[in-house]
């Protein structure tokens, strides 16, 4: 081929490649995206406690059993400790004896004080009373006061010991610390319980609060930014598949589990009708609120090749490729992430046949 014909062919090819193309265009739309994640959860008692005997003693009477509904302050177990009763009675007798001795010492102090005051008056008359008698009377008063002080200290110590034994006796009646359900009964009358009873101390009962529950939901790291206390969240359980329950976000720990990269958020759930129970594994409809609006384009605007995913922006009358990644989609609109702005004009039906940099015009 002659050089002039080769040059003409190149000019025709260039003209073909860079000829202005007419396209349909749309605008990049910005809007807030709210979605829901289906997450597994776990229902736990709001309060749970194992009840132990505080002292080594015997179970005299069990007043409740597994499944019993109890009220706060209700007597659950009566324990027996005869030795403790005897020690407390002995301590109280000791207190009474010390009080009696102190009363006698106080009477002696009154007598010594009266004698001393009488001798002081008589000593004003010269020769009526020897000076030594007045000194001895004063010493008798001081000695009586010292004895009373000793009795007072002894009475305080004995009283404290008696009170301590009385408090230990109060441990013999085990009461419910809150309203709840007895979920485990682990001892029977006659059992030796408490510290020092041989082996490891075991609980007598387990009490749980079921009228109010904790729903624990592991929230993925990607969805933690929009969590707020008081958010109402729906969930279902296999036991009642046709019923939707609700909980309120109550406790946000603020830290992620390094293994699962999730945050264990707790919700409070009212359960006055008793349909829910600890151990159930609900499916939670977790609301996801993104902190910033997202950009949406028609699905036809996205071009996918082996090398990249992009949309074609029309800038200053020319085609410009903008690399993007996909997010959620629906109703023909796709959430995209990339170097875009709300109101950017892009090609409605993108194709890699529209070469980057060529002039384009928009159909009216």
| Closest by Cα among 297, 318, 317 to 309 | 297
pTM for this one?
0.60
When pLDDT is averaged across residues 168-187 and rounded to a whole number, the result is: 90
Distance CA 350, CA 310 (A): 9
Say what the alpha-carbon torsion angle 277, 281, 282, 284 is, to the nearest 10 degrees. Answer: 130
In CATH terms, 49-81+172-205 corresponds, of 3.30.1490.190, 2.40.50.100, 3.10.580.10, 2.60.40.10, to 2.40.50.100
The 10s digit of each residue's pLDDT in 110-141 is 877 787 677 777 777 776 667 777 677 778 77
Residues 258, 240 contacting (CB under 8 angstroms): no
Distance CA 103, CA 98 (A): 9
Residues 155, 161 contacting (CB under 8 angstroms): no
- Token output for 25: 């265009």
The highest-level CATH class for domain 19-32+293-362 is mainly beta
Q: What is the pLDDT of residue 264?
A: 94
When pLDDT is averaged across residues 273-300 and rounded to a whole number, the result is: 89
With a cut of 70, say whether residue 2 has pLDDT above it: no
CATH topology for 36-47+208-289 is: Elongation Factor Tu (Ef-tu); domain 3 (2.40.30)
The 10s digit of each residue's pLDDT in 135-146 is 777 787 778 788
When pLDDT is averaged across residues 201-205 and rounded to a whole number, the result is: 88
pLDDT band at residue 10 using 50, 70 and 90 as cut-offs: very low
With a cut of 70, say whether residue 13 has pLDDT above it: no
With a cut of 90, say whether residue 19 has pLDDT above it: no
- Sign of the Cα pseudo-torsion (301, 304, 310, 315, in order): negative
The 10s digit of each residue's pLDDT in 24-77 is 999 999 987 777 889 999 999 999 999 998 888 889 999 999 999 999 999 999
Q: How would you list the strands of the sheet with 57-62, edge to edge? A: 173-175, 75-80, 57-62, 192-193
Which range has the top average pLDDT, 32-36, 224-228, 273-277?
A: 273-277
Tell me the sheet residues that pair with 286.
37
pLDDT band at residue 200 using 50, 70 and 90 as cut-offs: low
**Terminal CA-CA length for the chain:** 44
Residues 244, 190 contacting (CB under 8 angstroms): no
């Amino acid at each position: 081929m002659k050089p002039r014909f080769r040059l003409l062919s190149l000019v025709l090819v260039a003209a073909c490649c860079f000829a202005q193309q007419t396209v349909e265009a749309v605008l990049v739309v910005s809007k807030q995206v709210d979605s829901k994640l289906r997450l597994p959860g776990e229902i736990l008692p709001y309060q749970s406690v194992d009840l132990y005997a505080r002292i080594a003693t015997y179970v005299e009477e069990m007043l409740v059993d597994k499944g019993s509904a109890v009220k706060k302050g209700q007597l659950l177990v009566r324990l027996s400790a005869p030795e403790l009763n005897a020690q407390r009675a002995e301590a109280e007798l000791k207190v009474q004896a010390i009080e009696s001795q102190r009363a006698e010492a106080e009477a002696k102090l009154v007598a010594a004080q009266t004698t001393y005051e009488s001798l002081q008056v008589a000593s004003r008359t010269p020769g009526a009373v020897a000076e030594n008698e007045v000194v001895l009377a004063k010493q008798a008063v001081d000695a009586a006061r010292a004895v009373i002080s000793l009795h007072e200290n002894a009475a305080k110590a004995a009283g404290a010991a008696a009170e301590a034994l009385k408090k230990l006796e109060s441990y013999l009646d085990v009461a419910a610390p809150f309203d709840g359900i007895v979920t485990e009964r682990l001892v029977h009358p006659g059992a030796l319980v408490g510290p020092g009873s041989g082996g490891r101390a075991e609980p007598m009962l387990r009490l749980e609060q079921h009228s109010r529950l904790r729903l624990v939901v592991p929230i993925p790291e990607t969805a933690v930014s929009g969590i707020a206390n008081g958010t109402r969240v729906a969930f279902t359980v296999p036991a009642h598949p046709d019923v939707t329950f609700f909980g309120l976000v109550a406790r946000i720990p603020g830290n992620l589990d390094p293994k699962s990269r999730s945050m264990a958020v707790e919700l409070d759930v009212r359960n006055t009708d008793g349909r829910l129970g600890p151990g159930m594994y609900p499916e939670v409809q977790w609301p996801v609120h993104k902190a910033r609006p997202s950009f949406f384009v028609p699905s036809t605007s996205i071009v996918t090749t082996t090398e990249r995913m992009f949309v074609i922006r029309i800038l200053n009358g020319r085609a410009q490729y903008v690399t993007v990644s996909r997010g959620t989609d629906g109703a023909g609109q796709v959430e995209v992430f990339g170097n875009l702005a709300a109101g950017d004009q892009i090609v409605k039906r993108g194709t890699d046949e529209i070469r980057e940099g060529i002039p384009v015009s928009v159909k009216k």
